[in-house]
Structure 1
Amino acid sequence: MEIWLRQGGNAVRIPVLPPSYSITSNQINKVVNINALGEINLIGNRGLTEISFSSIFPFAYQSYCEYFPISTPKEYIDSIEAMKLSGDIRLTITETSINMMVTIENFQYGEEDGSGDISYNLEFKEYILPNTAEVTRNEKLDTSRETPQANETVSYLVKEGDCLSAVAKKLTGKSDWKPLYEQNKDTIGNNPNLIHAGMTLLISGARKGI
Protein backbone atom coordinates (compact mmCIF):
# COMPACT_ATOMS: atom_id res chain seq x y z
CA MET A 1 0.00 0.00 0.00
CA GLU A 2 1.19 3.53 -0.80
CA ILE A 3 -0.17 6.90 0.31
CA TRP A 4 0.31 9.83 -2.07
CA LEU A 5 -0.52 13.53 -1.91
CA ARG A 6 -0.44 15.22 -5.32
CA GLN A 7 -0.97 18.82 -6.36
CA GLY A 8 -0.07 20.00 -9.83
CA GLY A 9 3.46 18.81 -10.53
CA ASN A 10 4.24 18.23 -6.84
CA ALA A 11 3.88 14.88 -5.09
CA VAL A 12 4.57 13.61 -1.58
CA ARG A 13 4.65 9.92 -0.77
CA ILE A 14 4.16 9.19 2.92
CA PRO A 15 7.41 7.55 4.07
CA VAL A 16 6.01 5.49 6.96
CA LEU A 17 2.59 3.91 6.62
CA PRO A 18 0.21 4.72 9.48
CA PRO A 19 -0.97 1.78 11.59
CA SER A 20 -4.54 2.71 10.64
CA TYR A 21 -6.61 5.39 8.95
CA SER A 22 -10.10 6.69 9.65
CA ILE A 23 -12.90 7.45 7.18
CA THR A 24 -16.03 9.37 8.17
CA SER A 25 -18.90 9.25 5.68
CA ASN A 26 -21.34 12.04 6.48
CA GLN A 27 -25.05 12.32 5.68
CA ILE A 28 -26.86 15.67 5.85
CA ASN A 29 -30.19 14.72 7.41
CA LYS A 30 -32.67 17.06 9.06
CA VAL A 31 -34.76 16.43 12.14
CA VAL A 32 -38.10 18.25 12.16
CA ASN A 33 -40.92 18.28 14.68
CA ILE A 34 -44.42 17.71 13.31
CA ASN A 35 -47.48 18.08 15.49
CA ALA A 36 -49.02 14.74 16.46
CA LEU A 37 -46.06 12.87 14.97
CA GLY A 38 -43.20 14.25 17.01
CA GLU A 39 -39.68 14.26 15.63
CA ILE A 40 -39.01 12.73 12.23
CA ASN A 41 -35.70 12.40 10.41
CA LEU A 42 -35.68 13.63 6.80
CA ILE A 43 -32.99 11.99 4.67
CA GLY A 44 -30.80 14.64 3.05
CA ASN A 45 -27.90 14.68 0.63
CA ARG A 46 -24.58 12.94 1.10
CA GLY A 47 -22.08 14.97 3.10
CA LEU A 48 -18.37 15.33 2.45
CA THR A 49 -16.14 12.38 3.34
CA GLU A 50 -13.45 12.98 5.97
CA ILE A 51 -10.20 11.00 6.20
CA SER A 52 -7.46 11.13 8.83
CA PHE A 53 -4.32 9.26 9.82
CA SER A 54 -1.24 9.65 12.02
CA SER A 55 2.35 8.57 11.48
CA ILE A 56 5.93 9.90 11.69
CA PHE A 57 8.49 11.56 9.49
CA PRO A 58 11.69 9.76 10.54
CA PHE A 59 14.88 11.73 11.07
CA ALA A 60 16.85 9.05 9.22
CA TYR A 61 16.03 6.05 7.07
CA GLN A 62 14.78 3.03 9.03
CA SER A 63 13.86 -0.48 7.95
CA TYR A 64 10.16 0.33 8.34
CA CYS A 65 10.33 3.16 5.78
CA GLU A 66 8.50 2.50 2.52
CA TYR A 67 11.29 3.66 0.22
CA PHE A 68 14.84 4.98 0.04
CA PRO A 69 16.08 7.65 0.06
CA ILE A 70 13.63 9.60 2.18
CA SER A 71 13.40 13.36 2.62
CA THR A 72 14.06 15.19 5.87
CA PRO A 73 11.12 15.82 8.23
CA LYS A 74 11.35 19.54 7.42
CA GLU A 75 11.08 18.88 3.69
CA TYR A 76 7.95 16.78 4.18
CA ILE A 77 6.42 19.40 6.46
CA ASP A 78 7.21 22.28 4.11
CA SER A 79 5.74 20.42 1.13
CA ILE A 80 2.51 19.54 2.94
CA GLU A 81 2.13 23.05 4.38
CA ALA A 82 2.51 24.48 0.86
CA MET A 83 -0.15 22.09 -0.45
CA LYS A 84 -2.46 23.02 2.41
CA LEU A 85 -2.22 26.71 1.57
CA SER A 86 -2.53 26.22 -2.19
CA GLY A 87 -5.93 24.50 -2.07
CA ASP A 88 -7.24 21.12 -3.16
CA ILE A 89 -4.99 18.09 -3.61
CA ARG A 90 -5.44 14.49 -4.71
CA LEU A 91 -5.20 11.91 -1.95
CA THR A 92 -4.52 8.36 -3.11
CA ILE A 93 -4.24 5.27 -0.94
CA THR A 94 -3.40 2.38 -3.21
CA GLU A 95 -5.12 -0.99 -2.75
CA THR A 96 -8.17 0.91 -1.44
CA SER A 97 -11.00 2.88 -3.03
CA ILE A 98 -9.53 6.18 -1.80
CA ASN A 99 -8.52 8.31 -4.77
CA MET A 100 -10.19 11.68 -4.41
CA MET A 101 -9.74 15.43 -4.36
CA VAL A 102 -9.48 16.74 -0.81
CA THR A 103 -8.39 19.74 1.21
CA ILE A 104 -6.07 19.52 4.20
CA GLU A 105 -8.21 20.63 7.12
CA ASN A 106 -5.69 20.05 9.91
CA PHE A 107 -1.96 19.28 10.02
CA GLN A 108 -0.48 18.84 13.49
CA TYR A 109 3.13 17.81 14.07
CA GLY A 110 5.87 17.89 16.67
CA GLU A 111 8.90 16.12 18.12
CA GLU A 112 8.21 14.00 21.19
CA ASP A 113 11.33 12.10 22.30
CA GLY A 114 14.36 14.05 21.10
CA SER A 115 15.12 11.51 18.37
CA GLY A 116 14.50 13.98 15.56
CA ASP A 117 11.49 11.97 14.37
CA ILE A 118 8.41 14.14 13.85
CA SER A 119 5.02 12.72 14.80
CA TYR A 120 2.08 14.16 12.88
CA ASN A 121 -1.64 13.90 12.31
CA LEU A 122 -3.31 14.77 8.99
CA GLU A 123 -7.03 15.42 8.52
CA PHE A 124 -8.58 15.72 5.06
CA LYS A 125 -12.02 16.66 3.79
CA GLU A 126 -13.41 15.71 0.40
CA TYR A 127 -13.37 18.58 -2.10
CA ILE A 128 -16.05 18.91 -4.77
CA LEU A 129 -15.66 21.67 -7.34
CA PRO A 130 -18.72 23.94 -7.18
CA ASN A 131 -20.96 24.03 -10.26
CA THR A 132 -20.64 27.76 -10.92
CA ALA A 133 -23.31 27.71 -13.62
CA GLU A 134 -25.82 26.21 -11.20
CA VAL A 135 -24.85 28.66 -8.44
CA THR A 136 -25.27 31.59 -10.84
CA ARG A 137 -28.66 30.27 -11.97
CA ASN A 138 -29.84 29.92 -8.38
CA GLU A 139 -28.65 33.42 -7.54
CA LYS A 140 -30.65 34.77 -10.48
CA LEU A 141 -33.72 32.88 -9.29
CA ASP A 142 -33.29 34.31 -5.79
CA THR A 143 -32.88 37.81 -7.21
CA SER A 144 -36.01 37.49 -9.33
CA ARG A 145 -37.96 36.47 -6.25
CA GLU A 146 -36.69 39.43 -4.27
CA THR A 147 -36.95 42.10 -7.00
CA PRO A 148 -40.49 43.41 -7.54
CA GLN A 149 -41.73 43.06 -11.11
CA ALA A 150 -43.49 45.99 -12.79
CA ASN A 151 -46.49 44.27 -14.35
CA GLU A 152 -49.48 44.92 -12.07
CA THR A 153 -52.28 47.44 -12.08
CA VAL A 154 -53.13 48.57 -8.57
CA SER A 155 -55.32 51.11 -6.85
CA TYR A 156 -54.01 53.48 -4.22
CA LEU A 157 -55.98 55.43 -1.65
CA VAL A 158 -54.42 58.85 -1.21
CA LYS A 159 -53.50 59.71 2.37
CA GLU A 160 -53.07 63.03 4.11
CA GLY A 161 -49.77 64.64 3.07
CA ASP A 162 -49.33 62.57 -0.12
CA CYS A 163 -48.06 64.12 -3.34
CA LEU A 164 -47.89 62.55 -6.81
CA SER A 165 -44.11 62.12 -6.83
CA ALA A 166 -44.20 60.32 -3.46
CA VAL A 167 -47.06 58.07 -4.58
CA ALA A 168 -45.27 57.32 -7.88
CA LYS A 169 -42.10 56.43 -5.98
CA LYS A 170 -44.04 54.09 -3.71
CA LEU A 171 -45.94 52.37 -6.53
CA THR A 172 -43.27 52.14 -9.25
CA GLY A 173 -39.97 52.76 -7.52
CA LYS A 174 -39.49 55.96 -9.56
CA SER A 175 -40.28 59.56 -8.66
CA ASP A 176 -41.61 60.40 -12.14
CA TRP A 177 -45.20 61.48 -11.38
CA LYS A 178 -46.28 62.31 -14.95
CA PRO A 179 -47.43 58.79 -16.00
CA LEU A 180 -49.42 58.55 -12.76
CA TYR A 181 -51.02 61.92 -13.44
CA GLU A 182 -51.88 61.06 -17.06
CA GLN A 183 -53.61 57.84 -15.98
CA ASN A 184 -55.63 59.65 -13.31
CA LYS A 185 -56.18 63.06 -14.89
CA ASP A 186 -59.95 62.68 -14.83
CA THR A 187 -59.81 62.07 -11.08
CA ILE A 188 -57.18 64.66 -10.19
CA GLY A 189 -58.23 67.46 -12.54
CA ASN A 190 -56.05 70.02 -14.30
CA ASN A 191 -53.70 70.70 -11.39
CA PRO A 192 -51.44 67.73 -10.53
CA ASN A 193 -50.52 69.41 -7.26
CA LEU A 194 -54.07 69.20 -5.98
CA ILE A 195 -54.63 65.70 -4.70
CA HIS A 196 -56.37 65.11 -1.41
CA ALA A 197 -56.92 62.32 1.06
CA GLY A 198 -59.61 59.87 -0.02
CA MET A 199 -58.83 59.97 -3.76
CA THR A 200 -58.37 56.56 -5.41
CA LEU A 201 -55.58 56.47 -8.00
CA LEU A 202 -54.95 53.67 -10.49
CA ILE A 203 -51.61 52.86 -12.08
CA SER A 204 -50.49 50.12 -14.43
CA GLY A 205 -46.90 48.93 -14.24
CA ALA A 206 -46.83 49.02 -10.45
CA ARG A 207 -44.45 46.82 -8.54
CA LYS A 208 -45.71 43.46 -7.31
CA GLY A 209 -46.47 43.26 -3.65
CA ILE A 210 -47.62 46.88 -3.32
Structure 2
Amino acid sequence: MAYEVYIDDMLLPLPPEKIPVKYSGQNKTANLINGEEINILKPAGLAEINIDVTIPQMDYPSAVWDGSIDNAEDFLGKLDALKKGKKPFEFTVVREGFGGDSLFDTSMDVTLEDYKVSDDVSQGLDLLVSLTMKEYRHYGTLILNFVLKENGDAQSEQAEGERSGEAPQEKNYTVVKGDCLWSIAKKQLGNGSRWQEIHQLNKDKVKNPNLIYPGQILALP
Protein backbone atom coordinates (compact mmCIF):
# COMPACT_ATOMS: atom_id res chain seq x y z
CA MET A 1 0.00 0.00 0.00
CA ALA A 2 1.24 3.51 -0.86
CA TYR A 3 0.54 6.65 1.14
CA GLU A 4 0.72 10.32 0.21
CA VAL A 5 0.40 12.68 3.17
CA TYR A 6 -0.26 16.39 2.70
CA ILE A 7 -0.08 19.21 5.24
CA ASP A 8 -1.97 22.04 3.58
CA ASP A 9 -0.66 21.85 -0.02
CA MET A 10 2.73 20.44 1.05
CA LEU A 11 3.47 16.78 0.27
CA LEU A 12 5.59 15.12 2.95
CA PRO A 13 8.71 13.71 1.23
CA LEU A 14 8.53 10.55 3.39
CA PRO A 15 5.18 9.37 4.79
CA PRO A 16 5.10 8.83 8.58
CA GLU A 17 5.38 5.24 9.83
CA LYS A 18 2.22 5.75 11.90
CA ILE A 19 -0.71 8.15 11.60
CA PRO A 20 -2.64 7.91 14.88
CA VAL A 21 -5.88 9.92 14.98
CA LYS A 22 -7.51 10.14 18.41
CA TYR A 23 -11.25 10.86 18.44
CA SER A 24 -12.05 12.23 21.88
CA GLY A 25 -15.38 12.09 23.66
CA GLN A 26 -16.93 14.64 26.02
CA ASN A 27 -19.41 12.43 27.82
CA LYS A 28 -19.77 13.13 31.54
CA THR A 29 -20.42 10.68 34.36
CA ALA A 30 -22.77 11.76 37.15
CA ASN A 31 -24.27 10.17 40.24
CA LEU A 32 -27.98 10.26 41.02
CA ILE A 33 -29.32 10.83 44.54
CA ASN A 34 -29.77 7.08 44.98
CA GLY A 35 -26.08 6.56 44.17
CA GLU A 36 -26.68 5.16 40.68
CA GLU A 37 -24.06 6.21 38.14
CA ILE A 38 -25.21 7.49 34.75
CA ASN A 39 -23.49 8.67 31.59
CA ILE A 40 -24.51 12.08 30.20
CA LEU A 41 -23.96 12.07 26.45
CA LYS A 42 -22.24 15.09 24.91
CA PRO A 43 -21.25 15.98 21.34
CA ALA A 44 -18.04 14.36 20.10
CA GLY A 45 -14.81 16.18 20.87
CA LEU A 46 -12.20 17.35 18.37
CA ALA A 47 -9.93 14.75 16.80
CA GLU A 48 -6.19 15.03 17.50
CA ILE A 49 -3.40 13.86 15.20
CA ASN A 50 0.19 13.23 16.35
CA ILE A 51 2.75 12.25 13.73
CA ASP A 52 6.54 12.05 13.52
CA VAL A 53 7.90 13.26 10.18
CA THR A 54 11.41 12.56 8.89
CA ILE A 55 12.78 15.33 6.69
CA PRO A 56 15.68 13.87 4.67
CA GLN A 57 18.88 15.85 4.35
CA MET A 58 20.38 13.36 1.91
CA ASP A 59 19.15 11.81 -1.33
CA TYR A 60 16.78 8.89 -0.77
CA PRO A 61 15.23 6.94 -3.66
CA SER A 62 11.96 6.73 -1.71
CA ALA A 63 11.76 10.46 -0.92
CA VAL A 64 9.36 12.50 -3.06
CA TRP A 65 9.55 16.29 -3.28
CA ASP A 66 6.56 17.99 -4.92
CA GLY A 67 8.24 21.22 -6.00
CA SER A 68 6.78 23.50 -3.31
CA ILE A 69 9.52 22.40 -0.88
CA ASP A 70 12.81 20.67 -1.60
CA ASN A 71 14.77 20.94 1.63
CA ALA A 72 14.41 21.01 5.41
CA GLU A 73 14.60 24.80 5.62
CA ASP A 74 11.60 25.20 3.31
CA PHE A 75 9.66 22.62 5.31
CA LEU A 76 10.30 24.34 8.65
CA GLY A 77 9.46 27.69 7.09
CA LYS A 78 6.10 26.29 5.95
CA LEU A 79 5.36 24.97 9.46
CA ASP A 80 6.25 28.33 10.97
CA ALA A 81 3.87 30.10 8.56
CA LEU A 82 1.04 27.68 9.41
CA LYS A 83 1.61 28.17 13.13
CA LYS A 84 1.71 31.97 12.95
CA GLY A 85 -1.03 32.24 10.33
CA LYS A 86 -3.78 31.40 12.85
CA LYS A 87 -5.86 29.79 10.12
CA PRO A 88 -7.03 26.19 9.61
CA PHE A 89 -5.60 24.12 6.80
CA GLU A 90 -6.23 20.69 5.31
CA PHE A 91 -4.59 17.47 6.48
CA THR A 92 -4.94 14.76 3.84
CA VAL A 93 -3.91 11.14 3.50
CA VAL A 94 -4.23 9.58 0.03
CA ARG A 95 -4.14 5.78 0.07
CA GLU A 96 -3.43 3.55 -2.91
CA GLY A 97 -3.62 -0.25 -3.02
CA PHE A 98 -0.88 -2.54 -4.27
CA GLY A 99 -2.57 -2.76 -7.68
CA GLY A 100 -2.76 1.00 -8.05
CA ASP A 101 -6.43 1.16 -7.04
CA SER A 102 -7.50 4.21 -5.05
CA LEU A 103 -8.60 3.41 -1.51
CA PHE A 104 -10.39 5.66 0.96
CA ASP A 105 -8.84 9.06 1.69
CA THR A 106 -8.67 11.08 4.89
CA SER A 107 -9.33 14.80 4.58
CA MET A 108 -9.74 16.99 7.65
CA ASP A 109 -9.47 20.70 8.40
CA VAL A 110 -6.98 21.10 11.26
CA THR A 111 -4.89 23.62 13.14
CA LEU A 112 -1.21 23.22 14.00
CA GLU A 113 -1.07 23.10 17.79
CA ASP A 114 2.68 22.62 18.22
CA TYR A 115 5.71 20.99 16.66
CA LYS A 116 9.12 19.87 17.91
CA VAL A 117 12.30 19.62 15.85
CA SER A 118 14.90 17.05 16.92
CA ASP A 119 18.44 16.35 15.73
CA ASP A 120 18.73 12.64 16.48
CA VAL A 121 22.09 10.91 16.05
CA SER A 122 20.27 7.73 15.06
CA GLN A 123 18.66 9.67 12.19
CA GLY A 124 22.02 10.79 10.82
CA LEU A 125 21.73 14.22 9.18
CA ASP A 126 17.96 13.97 8.86
CA LEU A 127 15.56 16.01 10.96
CA LEU A 128 12.78 14.46 13.00
CA VAL A 129 9.75 16.74 13.39
CA SER A 130 6.92 15.81 15.77
CA LEU A 131 3.61 17.48 14.89
CA THR A 132 0.41 17.85 16.90
CA MET A 133 -2.66 18.89 14.94
CA LYS A 134 -6.24 19.31 16.10
CA GLU A 135 -9.44 19.08 14.10
CA TYR A 136 -11.04 22.42 13.23
CA ARG A 137 -14.81 22.82 13.03
CA HIS A 138 -16.11 25.82 11.15
CA TYR A 139 -18.70 27.86 12.96
CA GLY A 140 -20.55 31.13 12.50
CA THR A 141 -23.95 32.76 12.24
CA LEU A 142 -26.23 31.69 9.41
CA ILE A 143 -27.77 34.70 7.67
CA LEU A 144 -30.74 34.21 5.33
CA ASN A 145 -31.84 36.92 2.90
CA PHE A 146 -35.50 37.06 1.92
CA VAL A 147 -37.46 39.17 -0.57
CA LEU A 148 -41.18 39.81 -0.45
CA LYS A 149 -43.28 38.90 -3.46
CA GLU A 150 -46.25 41.05 -4.45
CA ASN A 151 -48.65 38.74 -2.61
CA GLY A 152 -46.68 39.23 0.62
CA ASP A 153 -45.17 35.73 0.76
CA ALA A 154 -41.50 35.50 1.69
CA GLN A 155 -39.22 33.92 -0.88
CA SER A 156 -35.52 33.26 -0.52
CA GLU A 157 -33.42 35.42 -2.82
CA GLN A 158 -31.61 33.54 -5.56
CA ALA A 159 -28.04 34.57 -6.24
CA GLU A 160 -27.29 36.01 -9.64
CA GLY A 161 -25.68 33.47 -11.94
CA GLU A 162 -27.30 30.51 -10.16
CA ARG A 163 -30.59 30.61 -12.03
CA SER A 164 -31.89 27.21 -13.08
CA GLY A 165 -31.38 26.31 -16.69
CA GLU A 166 -28.00 28.02 -17.09
CA ALA A 167 -25.29 25.63 -18.31
CA PRO A 168 -22.15 25.67 -16.14
CA GLN A 169 -19.05 27.00 -17.86
CA GLU A 170 -16.40 24.40 -18.58
CA LYS A 171 -13.09 25.07 -16.81
CA ASN A 172 -9.64 23.89 -17.81
CA TYR A 173 -6.26 23.88 -16.10
CA THR A 174 -2.78 23.61 -17.62
CA VAL A 175 -0.38 21.45 -15.60
CA VAL A 176 2.85 23.10 -14.44
CA LYS A 177 6.02 21.61 -12.96
CA GLY A 178 5.50 20.24 -9.44
CA ASP A 179 1.74 19.70 -9.87
CA CYS A 180 -0.12 16.57 -8.81
CA LEU A 181 -3.86 15.92 -9.03
CA TRP A 182 -4.26 16.52 -5.29
CA SER A 183 -2.51 19.92 -5.36
CA ILE A 184 -4.53 20.96 -8.43
CA ALA A 185 -7.79 20.02 -6.67
CA LYS A 186 -6.65 21.94 -3.59
CA LYS A 187 -5.78 25.11 -5.53
CA GLN A 188 -8.58 25.08 -8.09
CA LEU A 189 -11.47 23.42 -6.22
CA GLY A 190 -10.60 24.25 -2.63
CA ASN A 191 -10.41 20.60 -1.53
CA GLY A 192 -7.53 18.28 -2.35
CA SER A 193 -9.65 15.17 -1.80
CA ARG A 194 -11.58 16.03 -5.00
CA TRP A 195 -8.59 14.92 -7.10
CA GLN A 196 -10.49 11.76 -8.07
CA GLU A 197 -13.16 13.91 -9.77
CA ILE A 198 -10.46 15.48 -11.94
CA HIS A 199 -9.07 12.04 -12.75
CA GLN A 200 -12.52 10.74 -13.77
CA LEU A 201 -13.00 13.69 -16.15
CA ASN A 202 -9.60 13.16 -17.77
CA LYS A 203 -9.23 9.38 -17.94
CA ASP A 204 -8.75 9.62 -21.70
CA LYS A 205 -5.46 11.48 -21.19
CA VAL A 206 -4.45 10.51 -17.62
CA LYS A 207 -4.21 6.73 -17.36
CA ASN A 208 -2.21 6.78 -14.12
CA PRO A 209 -3.33 9.49 -11.64
CA ASN A 210 0.21 9.68 -10.28
CA LEU A 211 1.67 10.59 -13.68
CA ILE A 212 0.81 13.99 -15.11
CA TYR A 213 3.10 16.22 -17.13
CA PRO A 214 3.66 19.99 -17.54
CA GLY A 215 1.65 21.33 -20.46
CA GLN A 216 -1.26 18.89 -20.14
CA ILE A 217 -4.66 20.57 -20.24
CA LEU A 218 -7.09 19.04 -17.77
CA ALA A 219 -10.83 19.59 -17.55
CA LEU A 220 -12.07 20.61 -14.09
CA PRO A 221 -15.45 19.74 -12.57
TM-score (normalised: structure 2): 0.54
Please list every run of at least 4 consecutive aligned residues from structure 1 whose deviation after the TM superposition is greater than 6 angstroms: none
Indicate conservation of the 8 Å contact 1:50/1:125, yes or no.
Answer: yes
Indicate conservation of the 8 Å contact 1:61/1:68, yes or no.
Answer: no
The 1-side partners of 2:70 and 2:117 are apart by: 16
Q: 1:118 is matched by which residue type in structure 2?
A: L
Q: 2:120 is matched by which residue type in structure 1?
A: E
The 2-side partners of 1:132 and 1:53 are apart by: 34
1:60 to 58, 71, 83: 58
CA distance change for structure 1 residues 110 and 13 in 2, over 3 Å: closer, same or farther? same
CA distance change for structure 1 residues 33 and 97 in 2, over 3 Å: closer, same or farther? farther
The 2-side partners of 1:43 and 1:55 are apart by: 36
Tell me which residue corresponds to 1:76: 75
- Residue 111 in structure 1 maps to residue 109 in structure 2: no
Q: Please report how far the alpha carbon of residue 60 of structure 1 lies from its aligned counterpart in structure 2 after TM superposition.
A: 2.1
Q: Please report how far the alpha carbon of residue 116 of structure 1 lies from its aligned counterpart in structure 2 after TM superposition.
A: 2.6
Tell me which residue corresponds to 1:144: none
SS of residue in 1 equivalent to 2:60: coil
**Which structure shows the bigger proportion of residues in helix conformation?**
1
Give unpaired runs (5+ residues) of structure 1: 135-210
- Residue 125 in structure 1 maps to residue 134 in structure 2: yes
Tell me which residue corresponds to 1:100: 108
Cα deviations by residue, 1:139-186 (Å, 9 ceiling, x for unpaired): xxxxxxxxxxxxxxxxxxxxxxxxxxxxxxxxxxxxxxxxxxxxxxxx
Q: 2:82 is matched by which residue type in structure 1?
A: M
1:40 to 18, 38, 41: 38
Indicate conservation of the 8 Å contact 2:10/2:66, yes or no.
Answer: no
Tell me which residue corresponds to 2:88: 88
Indicate conservation of the 8 Å contact 1:21/1:51, yes or no.
Answer: yes
Indicate conservation of the 8 Å contact 1:27/1:46, yes or no.
Answer: yes
Q: Percent identity?
A: 22
Paired residues for 1:20-31 under 5 Å: 20-31=18-29
SS of residue in 1 equivalent to 2:20: strand
Indicate conservation of the 8 Å contact 2:5/2:94, yes or no.
Answer: yes
The 2-side partners of 1:133 and 1:2 are apart by: 36
CA distance change for structure 1 residues 130 and 120 in 2, over 3 Å: closer, same or farther? same
2:13 to 15, 19, 29: 15
> Once superposed, what is the RMSD of the aligned Cα atoms?
2.1
Count of aligned pairs between the two proteins: 130
Cα deviations by residue, 1:113-162 (Å, 9 ceiling, x for unpaired): 2833101111111001122359xxxxxxxxxxxxxxxxxxxxxxxxxxxx
Indicate conservation of the 8 Å contact 1:59/1:118, yes or no.
Answer: yes
TM-score (normalised: structure 1): 0.57
Q: Please report how far the alpha carbon of residue 106 of structure 1 lies from its aligned counterpart in structure 2 after TM superposition.
A: 1.7
SS of residue in 1 equivalent to 2:92: strand
Indicate conservation of the 8 Å contact 1:17/1:66, yes or no.
Answer: no
SS of residue in 2 equivalent to 1:94: strand
Q: 2:57 is matched by which residue type in structure 1?
A: F
Indicate the structure (1 or 2) with the bigger Cα radius of gyration: 1
The 2-side partners of 1:118 and 1:128 are apart by: 31
Q: Please report how far the alpha carbon of residue 40 of structure 1 lies from its aligned counterpart in structure 2 after TM superposition.
A: 1.2
